[in-house]
Amino acid sequence: MAVKRVSHEPAYVLHRYDWSETSLILEVFTRHLGRIALVAKGAKRPSSNFRPVLLPLQPLQLNFTGEAEIRTLKAAEWMGGHVMPTGESLLSGYYVNELLMRLLARDDPHELLFDAYAAVVQVLASDHGSAQAATQAAGLRAFELLLLRAVGLLPSLDAQTATLTPLAPSARYALVPEAGLRQADDAEPALRAAEWEALQAALDDRAPFASTLRVCAGINGALRTQLRVLLNYHCGVATLHTRQMMRDLQAL
CA nearest to 11, candidates 24, 29, 36, 34? 29
For residue 119, count other CB atoms closer than 10 A to its CB.
19
Q: List CB contacts of 110: < 8 A, sequence separation 6 or more.
A: 34, 104, 150
Q: Distance (Å, rounded) from C-alpha 54 to C-alpha 46?
A: 13
**Do residues 156 and 200 lie in contact, with contact meaning Cβ atoms separated by under 8 Å?**
yes
Angle at 145 between CA 119 and CA 147, to 5 degrees: 70
pLDDT for 130 beyond 70: no
CA nearest to 208, candidates 134, 115, 92, 132? 115
Q: What is the pLDDT of residues 241-252, one digit of tens each?
A: 777 766 655 554
For residue 220, count other CB atoms closer than 10 A to its CB.
15
DSSP state string for 140-181: HHHHHHHHHHHTT----TTB-TTT-PBPPTT-EEEEETTTEE
Q: Which CATH class is domain 87-251?
A: mainly alpha
Of the pLDDT bands very low, low, confident and very high (cuts 50, 70, 90), residue 192 is very high
**Do residues 71 and 93 lie in contact, with contact meaning Cβ atoms separated by under 8 Å?**
no
SS3 34: strand
CATH architecture label of 5-78:
Beta Barrel (2.40)
Instruction: Lowest mean pLDDT of 24-38, 58-72, 116-130, 220-234, name the range.
Output: 116-130
Alpha helices in the chain (DSSP H): 87-103, 111-124, 130-150, 193-203, 208-216, 220-235, 241-251
Give strand pairing partners of 77.
Answer: 61
- C-alpha neighbours within 13 Å on the C-beta side of residue 115: 7
Whole-model pTM? Answer: 0.93
Q: What is the pLDDT of residue 215?
A: 97
- Mean pLDDT calculated for residue range 222-241: 90
pLDDT for 132 beyond 90: no
pLDDT for 204 beyond 50: yes
Q: What is the pLDDT of residue 127?
A: 65
User: How far is C-alpha 9 from the geometric centre of its chain's CA atoms?
Assistant: 19
Domain definitions of the chain by residue range: 5-78, 87-251
Q: What is the pLDDT of residue 1?
A: 44
CA nearest to 72, candidates 16, 3, 22? 3
- Mean pLDDT calculated for residue range 84-99: 93
pLDDT for 178 beyond 90: yes
**Residue 5 backbone zone (phi > 0: left; psi -120 to 50: alpha; other: beta):** beta
